[in-house]
């Protein structure tokens, strides 16, 4: 272990924490600590490249996201232990999401997730709301696809409810992380691939896509195509100010439920049997 390590603190609007964390996970393969309106990265390697990538991202966005950066070199302590202590279990719907250094709960469905490589530990409004929707919607024996699976937490939840699950993500780090989390939970999926819904070969009782509004609009036709008549579509990752653009893209389906948490929205649709 080196004597020193680097710590990068990114301070930003709470609404964009999930989005920026997802971006970071594409270029950085160590743990992220989530705070209120901040993200903290620690590494024995210089984190200037991550900071520079975020500055470049700022310049490329149509709607700027203000971020303040603090990059410090610190004396090495057991920051992995410190990080672990900062991650607390969470209850969402029927589920108890906990890291492996905590104990499971007897009265809930337990999902073990060690937040490190993966985005999606249940603490974020979008993941939390999806877990609530899954608790109400998914039935044993149903076929489910999780598009943009991230850590695999939503697919794991469906598997533990007795569904047959396929998963995909365009990010290879997420695909690998998803695979590892299924192993960690001693569960199996039907298929897992790098890519999106356009590569799906089946039709599904439940389609889940917790991504971002612009991507949901872009892949709307694929999501609707692979959903069985009578099936349920769970969409999340939608900032409330982007909600109208999403509902317009999915107006041929019937909106059954809207779940709002913080400034994020989850929409639950039904595809009518004649649709």
- Do 63 and 138 share a structural domain? no
Q: Do the domain assignments include residue 77?
A: yes
Domain boundary pick from 69, 84, 99 = 84
Q: Where are the beta strands (DSSP E) in the chain?
A: 4-12, 32-35, 38-43, 67-75, 90-92, 95-98, 109-112, 143-147, 164-169, 191-194, 204-210, 227-239, 254-261, 264-270
Question: Which of these, 63, 65, 62, lies nearest to 14 by C-alpha position?
Answer: 65
Q: Do the domain assignments include residue 101?
A: no
Tens-of-pLDDT digits for all 275 residues of the chain? 567 888 999 999 988 888 898 888 888 877 788 888 999 998 888 899 999 999 998 888 878 889 999 999 887 666 666 666 777 788 999 999 988 888 999 999 999 987 653 344 556 788 899 999 999 999 999 999 999 998 899 999 999 999 999 999 998 888 988 999 999 999 999 999 999 999 999 999 999 999 989 999 999 999 999 999 999 999 999 989 999 999 999 999 999 999 998 889 999 999 998 64
- Do 252 and 140 share a structural domain? yes
- Do 253 and 151 share a structural domain? yes
Domain count, the chain: 2
Number of residues in the chain: 275
Q: Do the domain assignments include residue 186?
A: yes
- Do 167 and 34 share a structural domain? no
CB 72 within 8 A of CB 6: yes
Q: What pLDDT score does 120 carry?
A: 45
Domain boundary pick from 38, 58, 84 = 84
In angstroms, the CA 174 to CA 171 distance is 5
Q: What pLDDT score does 39 carry?
A: 93
- Do 135 and 76 share a structural domain? no
In angstroms, the CA 62 to CA 239 distance is 15
Q: What pLDDT score does 246 carry?
A: 96
Q: What pLDDT score does 2 carry?
A: 62
Q: What angle do CA 98, 102, 108 make, to 5 degrees?
A: 50
- Do 265 and 156 share a structural domain? yes
- Do 203 and 133 share a structural domain? yes
CB 96 within 8 A of CB 110: yes
- Do 25 and 69 share a structural domain? yes
**Cβ-proximal residues to 123 (8 Å cutoff; 6+ apart), any chain:** 34, 90
- Do 242 and 166 share a structural domain? yes
Domain with 146, as residue range(s), is: 118-270
Residue 137 has φ and ψ, to the nearest 5°, of: -100, -45
In this structure, what CATH number is given to the domain that contains residue 12?
3.30.70
In angstroms, the CA 266 to CA 37 distance is 21
Q: Do the domain assignments include residue 14?
A: yes
Q: What angle do CA 190, 268, 202 make, to 5 degrees?
A: 30
Q: Do the domain assignments include residue 15?
A: yes
**Cβ-proximal residues to 198 (8 Å cutoff; 6+ apart), any chain:** 219, 222
Q: What pLDDT score does 119 carry?
A: 41
Question: Which neighbouring-strand residues pair with 266?
Answer: 259
Question: Which of these, 260, 32, 257, lies nearest to 269 by C-alpha position?
Answer: 257
In this structure, what CATH number is given to the domain that contains residue 259?
3.40.50.150
- Do 130 and 79 share a structural domain? no
Q: Do the domain assignments include residue 229?
A: yes
Q: What pLDDT score does 141 carry?
A: 97
Q: Do the domain assignments include residue 102?
A: no
């Amino acid at each position: 272990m080196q004597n020193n390590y680097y710590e990068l603190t990114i301070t930003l609007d709470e609404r964009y924490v999930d989005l920026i964390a997802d971006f970071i996970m594409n270029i950085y393969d160590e743990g992220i600590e989530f705070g209120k309106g901040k993200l903290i990265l620690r590494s024995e390697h210089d984190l200037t490249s991550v900071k520079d990538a975020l500055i470049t991202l700022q310049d490329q966005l149509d709607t700027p996201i203000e971020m303040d950066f603090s990059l410090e070199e610190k004396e090495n302590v057991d920051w992995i232990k410190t990080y672990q202590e900062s991650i607390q279990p969470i209850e969402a719907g029927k589920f108890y999401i906990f890291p492996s250094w905590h104990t499971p709960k007897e009265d809930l469905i337990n999902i073990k997730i060690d937040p490190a490589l993966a985005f999606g530990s249940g603490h974020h409004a979008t993941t939390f709301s999806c877990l609530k929707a899954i608790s109400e919607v998914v039935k044993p024996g149903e076929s489910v696809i999780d598009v943009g699976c991230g850590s695999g937490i939503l697919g794991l939840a469906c598997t533990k409810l007795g569904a047959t699950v396929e998963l995909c993500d365009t990010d290879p780090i997420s695909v690998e992380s998803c695979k590892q989390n299924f192993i960690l939970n001693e569960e199996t999926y039907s298929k897992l691939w790098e890519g999106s819904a356009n590569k799906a070969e089946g039709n599904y009782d439940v389609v889940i896509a917790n991504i971002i509004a612009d991507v949901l609009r872009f892949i709307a036709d694929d999501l609707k195509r692979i959903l069985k008549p009578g099936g349920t579509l769970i969409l999340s990752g939608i900032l409330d100010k982007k909600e109208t653009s999403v509902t317009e893209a999915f107006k041929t389906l019937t909106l059954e439920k809207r779940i709002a948490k913080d400034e994020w929205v989850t929409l639950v649709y039904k595809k009518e049997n004649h649709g």
